[in-house]
Structure 1
Amino acid sequence: MDGLVGVVVAPDNGELSALSSGAKPMVSLLGKPLLRHYMDGLRAIGASRFIVASNVSISLSDAEVIDYGGDYWATLVKVSEIVPRGSTVVASSMDIYVPKEAYETLMNVHLSMGHDVTVLVAAVEDTSGGFRVNTSSDGKVLSLVRGGGPGYLHLGLTAIEQDALVKLAGGAELGSLRVGVAHWGGWFTRVNTPWSLLEIVRNTLANLTSSSISTRARISPRASMEGPVIIDDDAVLDHNCTIRGPVYVGKGVYVGTGALIRNHAAIEEGAIIGANAEVTESLIEPRVTIGRGAFIGASLIGHGVVVEPGVVT
């Protein structure tokens, strides 16, 4: 879509940075930094320009990086000063993760209804920790307030026309604009603890329907692969190991003799899985070493950690 500007509000504001050699936006997830998944969602709906707002140093060749404004809406005010006249802005907050289909839902409603502003919402039992969207009986947004109690939770995804963004930056009230909601009934994850990454991995891999195996991977003829799997460049699967999908095996990963990787596990770049080790329902961050015979279940192992042989988690 011509004139669509994608904005990712990407502060380093949680526990996730402890898992990485960098900040929260750069935590590795399914072969790429977490930030890139948000950019991919925006790219899927036609974004041709990207702006990333963060409070940490991030270097990107395909996006303009600006200072984080203190919160989501303050950041959008800053964005209003730099986006071209006549453009549409779609802003995504890294506080909540939604799949690409949610971005498409937002844009379909925004374009078909002709709103100035459209916010993506989900009906939840507890809106605490986010913004609750109050609506009229005909679906018009009346206000966005700090969450609490049941209601519509803003999923951190907003489509807004440039002229409406300028009006809001100038102090206009939401009620003076055509503001509507797009309802999302699929999965989403609040990205506020390390365990939220396991939820993203599980839901993403659960929707994997076919395998993708790099021609640069080195796979023993005695290795076994079952179900949908992703095997990335330069991965090595040694004799008699088993990869039972849905599973992601990242770039340069080594899976030792007799090891078993199964059930929504993601092994990130350069990790080593020792002989006869087993990994299930877990996220193994880059450069991790899992010792011989260890069992890693429903766990998240941070960047560069060494798990000794025989350990059970």
Structure 2
Amino acid sequence: MKTVILAAGRGERLQPLTSTRPKPMVYVGNKPLLQLVIENLRECGLKDIIIVVSYKNEYIMNYFENGYDFGVNIKYVFQKTDSGRSEDAILAAEPLLRDEPEFLIAHADFLVDKEMINRAINNYKRLKPEGVISVTLVKEPHLYGVVSLDEEARIKRIIEKPERGKEPSSYAVAGIYIFKSSILQSLSENHSLDVTIQNLINSRKHVYASVWEREWVKVRYPWDLLKANELYLKHLLTGKGSYISEKANISNNCTITHPVWIEEGVTVKPGAVISGPVLIDKNSFIGTNSLIRPYSTIGKNVTVGFGVEVKNSIIYDKTQIGRLSFIGDSIIGAGVEIGAGTQTINISFDKTPIKFNTQDETVDIPLQKFGSVIGDHAIIGTNVSILPGRQIGCNSIIHPGVILYQNVPEKSLVKVSQSLQITDRID
């Protein structure tokens, strides 16, 4: 069975991380999200993969090439329109699908367990329906495509992002579909995917739900990456013990508790405390008396200085964090320089919801604690305080001592104005 991965998204809500990479290439567990999707598909025996690309397509194509290094065979198709519609992406792959009896669709911005994929495949083989869609119960169904089911798990109705309070159920579409290739004809008649599926149902063709009860993540906003990172680390480490490379340089006077994954070339200095689940990638440096707290991932060639605390954060490759800084519930891009004493404040001082502003909307972050999102190659001076939910664009410079209370566009310079008063000393 061929698989189509929908990977053409821009990821505007994930700015500034997606200023320099397409949405499927943001990191979870020190790997691009798309790589995790491909690895799960491969483990389910799905090795013939079509990736639909558009925005910054060269980033994806140069990374995965023909898929050989990842144990799969990859072909690429281009989505010419920038509509963001799933049906346009699927139709872009139609020339490679028309001779197939069926195909699987996976979204590149969903982190799902491989067993969710296996369950959908097994249900399709057992029931031999027109289609199977993975679904799961959610607390806020209005944010998703929603389905209602009959007593045999046949889908009766599908609605994309229904109005709050008018959802037909709490079962949300979870990003995995399997259909007979005959669906392509209906899509080509300019129907949306949900309308096409509803038309199948109305014509008495069976589309079944494959119900999933465990965790999964749809990545829309930066805090979804933290949730996905937590899920990945649980899967990697929980109940499996630690992995510490023989080529890592770990001080006898540091403390490591709970499962960790530490790659070759990593240095951990005396007095450091690492409390897993934590992943530290190749050739990174963890300084004296630093504290790495659970659900943090630290990329390749990262420097964490003396007395730094990192909590529940994603640190991309080649970033440097100066001494006595605090990085909490934050995502720090590649090649960022953070000066000594910088604080990513992760809680609102008045306990009100933390706001997250994008170009198009302002969102209440559904977490009590969330820090900053810092784009690639930003430079943060010493003793900078960054208020919760703020974004710093790529290649921006923040001068020392700034209290940053608003977002910073890319390639910006931020400094404070101050006046010094120097008078005679009075004894």
Aligned-pair CA distance for 1:167: 4.8
Deviations 1:80-115 (A, max 9, x none): 320373454221113433222322222232222222
Give matches, 1:133-152, under 5 Å. 133-148=147-162, 149=164, 150=167, 151=169, 152=171
Could you tell me which residue of structure 1 aligns to residue 176 of structure 2? 157
1:227-306 equivalence runs, <5 A: 227-306=258-337
Does structure 2 retain, via aligned residues, the 8 Å contact 1:284–1:301?
Answer: yes
Kindly indicate whether residue 136 of structure 2 is the aligned counterpart of residue 122 of structure 1.
Answer: yes
Report the counterpart of residue 6 of structure 1 in structure 2: 3
Look up the SS of the partner of 2:228 in the other structure. Answer: helix
Pick aligned residue for 1:187 from 196, 211, 215: 215
Matching of residue 65 in structure 1 with residue 76 in structure 2: yes
3-state SS of paired residue (2:96): coil
The farther-off stretch of 59-68 and 43-52 is 59-68
Greater Cα offset, 78-87 or 223-232: 78-87
Q: State the shift of 1:199 in Å.
A: 0.7
2: CA distance between counterparts of 1:87 and 1:221? 59
Higher RCO (C-alpha under 8 Å, 6+ residues apart) = 1
Distance 2:3 2:42 in 1: 8
Which one-letter code corresponds to 2:213 in the other structure?
Answer: G
Residue 47 of structure 1: CA displacement?
0.8
Does residue 103 of structure 1 match 2:98?
no
Q: 1:37: which partner in 2?
A: 36
Instruction: Judge conservation of contact 2:132–2:177 (CA < 8 Å) in 1.
Output: yes
Asked if structure 1 preserves the Cα contact closer than 8 Å seen for 2:87 and 2:187, the reply is no
C-alpha distance in structure 1 between counterparts of 2:299 and 2:101, whole Å = 37
Q: Is the Cα contact below 8 Å between 2:28 and 2:232 reproduced in 1? A: no
The 1-side partners of 2:78 and 2:156 are apart by 29
When residues 83 and 212 of structure 1 are mapped into structure 2, their CA distance, relative to the original with a 3 A threshold, is farther
1:199 paired residue number: 227
> Which one of 188, 213, 220 corresponds to residue 244 of structure 2?
213
Residue 270 to residue 168, structure 1, CA distance change in 2 (3 Å): farther
**What is the distance in 2 between the residues matched to 1:24 and 1:95?**
7
72 and 119 in structure 1: CA distance in 2 versus 1, 3 angstrom threshold:
same
**Aligned residue in 1 for 2:200:** 174
Query: What is the letter of the counterpart of residue 4 of structure 2?
Result: V
Residue in structure 1 matched with residue 16 of structure 2 by the alignment? 18
How many matched pairs?
Answer: 309
What one-letter code is carried by the residue in structure 2 that aligns with 1:55? S
The structure that is strand-richer by fraction is: 1
Tell me how far 1:204 sits from its aligned partner. 2.1
CA distance in 1, matches of 2:143, 2:12: 13
Aligned partners of 2:224, 2:322: CA distance in 1, in Å? 25
AA aligned to 2:341 is G
Contact 2:111/2:218 (<8 A) preserved = yes
Give the alignment's TM-score, normalised by structure 1.
0.89
Deviation at 1:235, TM superposition (A): 2.1
Question: Residue 194 of structure 1: CA displacement?
Answer: 1.0
TM-score normalised by L of structure 2: 0.67
Q: 2:130 aligned with 1:131, yes or no?
A: no
Measure, in 1, the Cα distance between the counterparts of 2:32 and 2:309. Answer: 25
CA contact (8 A) 2:289 2:308 kept: yes
Contact 1:216 1:233 in 2 (8 A): yes
Cα RMSD over matched residues? 2.3
What is the alpha-carbon distance in structure 2 between the residues aligned to residue 22 and residue 74 of structure 1?
21
Residue segments in structure 2 that go unaligned for 5+ positions in a row? 68-73, 190-195, 345-427
Structure 1 counterpart of 2:348: none
Long gaps (5+) in structure 1: none
Q: Secondary structure at the match of 1:65?
A: strand
The answer to whether the 8 A contact 1:274-1:290 is kept is yes
User: CA offset at residue 138 of structure 1?
Assistant: 3.2
Aligned identity (percent) is 25
Residue in 2 that maps onto 1:83: 97
Alpha-carbon contact 1:135-1:141 (below 8 Å) kept: yes
Task: Measure, in 2, the Cα distance between the counterparts of 1:241 and 1:220.
Answer: 9
Matched position secondary structure for 2:95: coil
Aligned to 2:425: none
Q: 1:40/1:88 Cα in 2 relative to 1: closer, same or farther (>3 Å)?
A: farther
Q: Structure 1 residues 285, 234: CA separation in 2 closer, same or farther (over 3 Å shift)? A: same
**Contact map agreement 2:296 2:312 (CA 8 A) in 1:** yes
